[in-house]
Amino acid sequence: MTITVTEPMVSNEAPIAIATSDIIQGQAPLEVNFTGDKSTDDVEVVGYSWDFGDGEIATEANPTHTFTTDGTYTVLLTVTDAEGLDATDSIEISVVTENEPTDEVSFEFILTPNPSTEAVQIIMEDNFDTSIILGFMLHDSSGRLVRQFTREEMIQNDMRIPVNVYRNGIYVITAMFNNNDPISKRLIIRK
């Protein structure tokens, strides 16, 4: 009688790449702190490769990079596990050249309803040129970036933001421009 024992096959799952940054837009030179160590794997992430989209790369988990030229950069993080499987995540970084504003922007927006329970709508002036808006950022009361929104998410001159997924509290919505100072408004979320 022969007894054969076989080891069960253990399958390796690909890692999950998670790339974040402390800021996504600003004036050149723009120093950005990237975080990749939140990436996960069923065993272990053993390699990090950052491509900053400007010809520079890094292999640390959490690098800092300075963008010196204006433009929009797609930053790629590729993580690799011990079995050689990899995954990629990306972040868009917008860099503008530091210039004096050519035209002062008279921009006002309204948050309604405020306080909000389900969703808040950002309403802008009807004749406002939205092409100068880089996007909106939502920060919590500690200053932590909660979510960022691009102008492509706008419908005409309005944007609707679901807030029912966030905790009660005071938040700040900031409009970012390509050639002017940001404008911020306070938002209260109550459920």
Give pTM, 2 decimals: 0.51
Q: Where are the domains of the chain?
A: 20-97, 109-189
Strands 109-112 and 119-124: antiparallel
What pLDDT is stored for residue 182 in this prediction?
80
Per-residue model confidence (pLDDT) at position 149: 82
Answer yes or no: same fold for 20-97 and 109-189: yes
Residue 29 CA to chain centroid, in angstroms? Answer: 19
Cβ atoms of 54 and 67 within 8 Å: the answer is: yes
DSSP codes joined into one string, the chain = ------PPPPPPPPPB---EES-SEEEESEEEEEE-TT-B-SS-EEEEEEE-SSS-EE-SSS-EEEE-S-EEEEEEEEEEETTS-EEEEEEEEEEEE----SS-----EEEESSSBSSEEEEEE-TT--GGGEEEEEEEETT--EEEEEEGGG-BTTEEEEE-TTSPSEEEEEEEEESSS--EEEEEEE--
Question: Residue type at 48?
Answer: Y
**Superfamily of domain covering 20-97:** Immunoglobulins (2.60.40.10)
d(CA 88, CA 29): 26
Q: How many angstroms separate the CA atoms of 89 and 17, rounded?
A: 5
pLDDT of res. 188: 87
Tell the residue number behind the tokens 């390699």, with chain if given.
47
Nearest Cα residue to 52 out of 43, 37, 40, 64: 64
109-189 is classed CATH 2.60.40.10: yes
Beta bridge partners of 94: 25, 72
Q: What is the pLDDT of residue 100?
A: 46
Query: What pLDDT tens digit does each residue of the chain (191 aa) get?
Result: 777 766 666 688 899 999 989 888 889 999 999 999 999 998 899 999 999 999 999 999 999 999 999 999 999 999 999 999 999 999 889 898 765 444 555 567 788 888 898 888 887 765 666 667 778 888 888 888 888 887 777 666 677 888 888 889 889 888 887 767 788 888 888 87
